[in-house]
Structure 1
């Protein structure tokens, strides 16, 4: 299914989603739909509620108000790979699988992320990029309808990030889950997503669509214009932060 064609169903839908921590309202009546096969990026300043929204979609936070529906399987890749150090890499990927042949499924997922030779390794012997690949394999092995990525590339060096961007796009194009990518990086959002949202004060304050084929280049005139729009929505000016 090519991006840009009409999509008839949503994999996730929230209406009036609110989350309070004491007297502080972190999410304030959010409405959001993510279509099947859609790649959405979520930007926002620290404390804007990005990870809170992701945790709600993942089913990790039940103390919300409003309506939240996810149709299908959900998987999450976090900023930290969160690999269990006393289990081999393949066993980390297979963790929680209860049907079929978990090891075979894990090894297939590891092959898709280029870690065939590292399945028997201990997590502490992996590089940062390899550990994040293993985290993606663990998310992928569940064949998710919705994949939630919580700043999974922020701790990686620039070259490894480029490699991981290409890998995520390859996996998305092959499997077509709906993806919500939480990130602080405007360029990352523009290079990967088909729709970019800005969260501010617990609400979606801005939405931009990126109707450009991939791979994309940072110096494309449309991306330069969208970057300026998104930075403004984030409160960033040429002089600094408003």
Structure 2
């Protein structure tokens, strides 16, 4: 995998294939993501969504084909993966080079609304708060590409709505490109500039969405697009 892309492009994937034993998970996949674009991946379980994310994050390099990504990229997982023996602010700057001071963490935590919990232990946080710490940890690295693997999957419905709005606000303020995996079609249509539907290890379908936000989930266009994507996912 390379870490250089042409100007205006954040991700360039060409003929990407990946197999586990004799099972092909990704098959000659092509993908382009432009600077500042919000892209959401949908697909049935096992279609290769999370595998693609891991490859772009540099967590899996046993591939064929080409995957070019920026050097500055961050990952947010479904589980926050906080170190329980480190206070919240230390979790935010965990892994940064040198000895980053607390002010850097405090700035990131303020962005996600957790200024007062900088000194707390992870075990005292709610699920939504822990996920916001995970977002702060990802964004403190000032990524050109933010990779999110079902970041709201473990949250209750109300917390999930708040987290969606937070991610949208952070994306707008940071200007980074986002590639997010989700199983929630409505969530994808609310957040994305472009929705990609994966099938059999390839991008089988894409939908470009209007730039206007917030989007009206009761509009005829929204309902029709949602129905079309659900059909493609085999949901009747």
* TM-score category of the 2 structures, normalised to the smaller one: over 0.9
* Alpha-carbon distance in 2 for matches of 1:230, 1:195: 12
Q: CA deviation at 1:232?
A: 1.3
* Cα separation, partners in 2 of 1:116 and 1:65, compared to 1, 3 Å: same
Match of 2:46 in 1: 47
SS of corresponding position for 1:236: coil
Return 96-105 or 57-66, whichever deviates more.
96-105
Which runs of structure 2 are paired with 1:229-240 in the superposition (5 Å)?
229-237=228-236
SS of corresponding position for 2:27: strand
Match of 1:167 in 2: 166
Which runs of structure 2 are paired with 1:8-23 in the superposition (5 Å)?
9-23=8-22
Match of 1:150 in 2: 149
* Alpha-carbon distance in 2 for matches of 1:89, 1:165: 21
* Alpha-carbon distance in 2 for matches of 1:172, 1:18: 29
SS of corresponding position for 2:129: helix
Q: CA deviation at 1:236?
A: 1.6
Deviations 1:38-90 (A, max 9, x none): 00000011111000000000000010110010123010000000000000000
CA RMSD of aligned residues (A): 1.3
Matched, 1:96 2:68: no
Q: CA deviation at 1:212?
A: 4.4
* Alpha-carbon distance in 2 for matches of 1:217, 1:132: 26
* Alpha-carbon distance in 1 for matches of 2:66, 2:25: 16
Q: CA deviation at 1:8?
A: 5.9
SS of corresponding position for 2:215: coil
> What is the TM-score when the length of structure 1 is the normalising length?
0.93
Q: CA deviation at 1:99?
A: 4.5
Q: CA deviation at 1:121?
A: 0.3
Q: CA deviation at 1:220?
A: 1.9
Q: CA deviation at 1:102?
A: 3.6
**For structure 2, which runs of at least 5 residues remain unmatched after alignment?**
1-5
* Cα separation, partners in 2 of 1:122 and 1:106, compared to 1, 3 Å: same
Preserved CA contact (<8 Å) 1:205 1:233 = no
* Alpha-carbon distance in 1 for matches of 2:39, 2:112: 21
* Alpha-carbon distance in 1 for matches of 2:162, 2:104: 24
Deviations 1:198-231 (A, max 9, x none): 0111011110011141112321221111101111
Which runs of structure 2 are paired with 1:10-159 in the superposition (5 Å)?
10-99=9-98, 101-159=100-158
SS of corresponding position for 1:165: helix
Match of 2:226 in 1: 227
**For structure 1, which runs of at least 5 residues remain unmatched after alignment?**
1-6, 238-242
SS of corresponding position for 2:229: helix
